[in-house]
Structure 1
């Protein structure tokens, strides 16, 4: 295995691990805390988080990891062999999958939540602004947003951390 491939795999593993760790903190600390405050407080707080997140340093590992995974996955598929190839390609696939969950699930829900007026906290109804059934207004929108968002965030955590472990294992095996 090329030394450069090994370095890229390890740097990508660090990015995947950072992403998984940040998302784990969100699932295990931030979302449970927001679940304990009134929706009229939680919703605008999450809207603020979602405005800051795309402009934060978190974007470096969040976007860098899948880019590195594509490079590692293609390179390993062509140049590595045996268990090293399997580990690196699998790690790359899981890393890209974590990003796909973000882009396909979290971003659209975050964007929909951003459109909910925070001052509509007392409204409830049948269809929510988040595109999920069971809510209108801030209270209903938050109540339908939070559980699914958190569950899928756990999926992102698992995918990102599994990617990191497999990339490290492949890099070490290929050394």
Structure 2
């Protein structure tokens, strides 16, 4: 890799983490609270529609990009092949990977479970309150991981 790319990669990974974290912060701060104010049927139907669009949205670029680029940065930092603060770069990479794992292991299965329910069913009505509470709580975690990752990667970068 060229030295210019090695200087830019941590910044790009960090920016992707901050962008994804900011987008997901909107869910914690106003989307989920607004959905909880709706009747259960409307809330479930709306979240099902959101979850259907999300995997094909532009949000996937920074969300997946932060994990992919962060992984490369972390690996290069571990073998001392990238300039910058090694501890911050490896930490930022780990946080980006943790955010991706949180999405894949926690949010996706719950979203899939919600998608399998008829929004007007009693099963959906029973599932929604717990889903909304725990999904949002873990989204707070995911946002913190992404924003922290971004800060660490950018701070650890040697780019001016």
Same fold (TM over 0.5): yes
Match of 2:48 in 1: 47
Conserved? CA contact 1:91–1:164, under 8 Å: yes
Greater Cα radius of gyration, structure 1 or 2: 1
- Asked if 1:152 is matched to 2:153, the reply is no
Q: After the TM superposition, which of the residue ranges 160-169 and 137-146 deviates more from structure 2?
A: 137-146
Contact kept in structure 2, 1:9 and 1:88, CA below 8 Å: yes
Q: Structure 1: any 5+ residue segments left out of the alignment? A: 124-136
- Partner in structure 2 of residue 134 of structure 1: none
Deviations 1:52-107 (A, max 9, x none): 00010001111111000110000111125897000100000001100000000000
Offset from partner CA, 1:111-146 (integer Å, 9 cap, x none): 0000011121xx2xxxxxxxxxxxxx1211111211
Q: What is the number of residues matched between the two proteins?
A: 159
Instruction: Give the match for residue 168 of structure 1.
Output: 154
Alpha-carbon distance between aligned partners in 2 of 1:104 and 1:158, rounded to the nearest angstrom: 17
Contact 2:73–2:82 under 8 Å retained in 1: no
Q: TM-score, normalised by structure 1?
A: 0.86
Moved over 4 A (4+): 80-83
Residue number in structure 2 paired with 1:17? 18
Distance 1:91 1:60 in 2: 18
The yes-or-no answer on 1:29 pairing with 2:30 is yes
Alignment of 1:1-175 (within 5 A): 2-79=3-80, 84-120=85-121, 123=122, 137-172=123-158
Higher relative CO (Cα under 8 Å, sequence separation at least 6) belongs to: 2
TM score, norm. by length of structure 2? 0.94
Deviation of 1:4 after TM superposition, in Å, equals: 2.0
- Measured after TM superposition, the shift of residue 3 of structure 1 is 3.4
Tell me the secondary structure at the aligned position of residue 119 of structure 1.
Answer: coil
